[in-house]
Structure 1
């Protein structure tokens, strides 16, 4: 394991994806198949970081049910120290989606109510204060309430610990608004970035300016298969992802990009090289049918990195 503990506090739940086998028949029974795996932006990133050799501790609300056992087993398999808040009479959060044969979403249901119970008061517990003080980095996501994210950012700042966030969705990313000045980085896609900036620049070089104007000091914007943008207070860079020979599933790609980026950044690399590592980690994930690729490792990352072009500086 490498360096200080990365303390991850955020979404850790179960994803269910049902894929319809034939043409979709609304209002009727459709033949198909279910796929179930652990998910959640913060949890996906936590497992990737652990597979990359980092010491990772997870804190997240969980129910006392079979879904909670799925999350616990996934944490153990990845080498993540799992320390949940368990509510025996509640259901573990879950995301259930019905997907057409061509991959388009028909409908989804997100049962995330339990995350509301991760209140700012939890952070005042002695064990949590000690965990924050001992961390080398805190990683969270917008599954948690806005007031909890703000309290977390304040606690990190007081302890002198960097904190990074994962946007999750356009609807949830505004929960980070009160924490912008404290975030070392916020990882988001273009739709989430547009929600924050209020605009969608045609030139990717304009994303840093638009997001800085919204109050964000540093961030990373993914753009599908197009160039990924990263910026901080000093500079902005762009890395173009290599052509993927075969896409198994893009689920979790953004979370793995955050993992590769943060692993390199904590090792002392600048944002250009960190972004290259992030793009390499995402390339490994999109070749896997899982949200967290079982083959993720430093060796696999170095092999993927050889295909990633150098970062381009942007004005």
Structure 2
């Protein structure tokens, strides 16, 4: 039996809270609404989808010594992922809290993630982590890592493919010094514009040209209500997700993980990204940031995804 590809993921695995206001938002007042809590993090969301698509995964993150750390730990193990994370008993587990209005538009977000900046770079020096890097077929990381940690990770990868998730326009800047060493970066349009150094209204080809000028060999750019763009050294193309055609940021994480799994299983970027879009559809349909799809539901979703089209 053929051995499944292995991924070492490094980055965020934290408590994700999403509060939604019922009715009109009233500033500086108590607003009725709902709050949901789950374990998230760009690289963890992506790795869960990759594992569901047939790869073996291990995760290096950091968390605190509180009860929330147990929630994160259980979620990692439940996903069938080997946990290489470090626990800091005197620290709080990182979290991201978002408050959105009745239509889902962001009102405010609060990211309590100082532990990543404090501790992740040192963790990459651990012998156990260096061994995991040496035995993995690929590295998957997110820009929750500070720049020093990203640079060390790329250096230790020693030529193995490193896939990255941009996370946010501000954090995407951490990837800029090493874009030439990355195999593929997953971005939304805002993050791509920041890395490409182009205007907010830039055309699709202008964004790709800017990313190439920044030394990026391959990338995937999602948009809330537009086509998913892909490019590599072969060419540039787009895939239009079927109705409702929306790939949210959380669904973008799932897209990234499924795409990486398909690439490691030998598909071209065009074919791999179709699989990623299919998984993003399942995530966008309410099945979660890392949807628990079956082979049958995935196959059905994939039949709805059109073939990639060359950019004009």
Give TM-score scaled by structure 1 length.
0.93
CA apart distance, 1:13: 0.4
- Residue of structure 2 equivalent to 1:28: 29
| Aligned-partner Cα distance in 2 for 1:55–1:25 | 46
Q: Do residues 276 (structure 1) and 274 (structure 2) align?
A: yes
- Residue of structure 2 equivalent to 1:58: 59
8 Å contact from structure 1 (residues 259, 281) kept in 2: no
Query: Which deviations, in whole Å up to 9, do the C-alpha atoms of 1:131-157 show, x marking residues without a partner?
Result: 00000111000001011101111111x
| Aligned-partner Cα distance in 2 for 1:262–1:137 | 9
Gaps of 5+ in 1: none
8 Å contact from structure 2 (residues 84, 129) kept in 1: no
CA apart distance, 1:292: 1.8
Between 1:147-156 and 1:77-86, the stretch displaced more is 77-86
- Residue of structure 2 equivalent to 1:94: 95
Q: Do residues 140 (structure 1) and 153 (structure 2) align?
A: no
Rate the CA distance shift 1:208–1:104 in 2: closer, same or farther, 3 A. closer
8 Å contact from structure 2 (residues 42, 250) kept in 1: yes
8 Å contact from structure 2 (residues 279, 291) kept in 1: no
CA apart distance, 1:251: 5.1
2:111 partner SS: strand
CA apart distance, 1:109: 0.8
8 Å contact from structure 2 (residues 12, 42) kept in 1: yes
Query: Which deviations, in whole Å up to 9, do the C-alpha atoms of 1:145-174 show, x marking residues without a partner?
Result: 011101111111x2x321100000001001
5 Å-filtered alignment, 1:1-315, equals 3-156=4-157, 158=158, 160-200=159-199, 202-244=202-244, 250=248, 252-288=250-286, 290-295=288-293, 297-314=294-311
| Aligned-partner Cα distance in 2 for 1:114–1:86 | 10
Runs of 4+ in 1 over 3 A off after TM superposition: 118-121, 200-203
| Aligned-partner Cα distance in 2 for 1:223–1:209 | 17
2:131 partner SS: helix
Rate the CA distance shift 1:196–1:83 in 2: closer, same or farther, 3 A. same
Aligned residues: 310
Query: Which deviations, in whole Å up to 9, do the C-alpha atoms of 1:13-67 show, x marking residues without a partner?
Result: 0111111223222222222221000111001011111222221101101111121
2:34 partner SS: strand
2:227 partner SS: strand
| Aligned-partner Cα distance in 1 for 2:248–2:177 | 30
| Aligned-partner Cα distance in 2 for 1:206–1:88 | 47
8 Å contact from structure 1 (residues 44, 255) kept in 2: yes
CA apart distance, 1:302: 1.9
Rate the CA distance shift 1:21–1:146 in 2: closer, same or farther, 3 A. same
Rate the CA distance shift 1:168–1:251 in 2: closer, same or farther, 3 A. closer
CA apart distance, 1:85: 0.8
CA apart distance, 1:89: 1.0
Give TM-score scaled by structure 2 length.
0.94
| Aligned-partner Cα distance in 2 for 1:77–1:122 | 23
CA apart distance, 1:120: 3.4
8 Å contact from structure 2 (residues 5, 265) kept in 1: no
8 Å contact from structure 1 (residues 51, 79) kept in 2: no
Gaps of 5+ in 2: none
Query: Which deviations, in whole Å up to 9, do the C-alpha atoms of 1:246-282 show, x marking residues without a partner?
Result: x8x9351110110121111111111111111111111
1:268 partner SS: coil
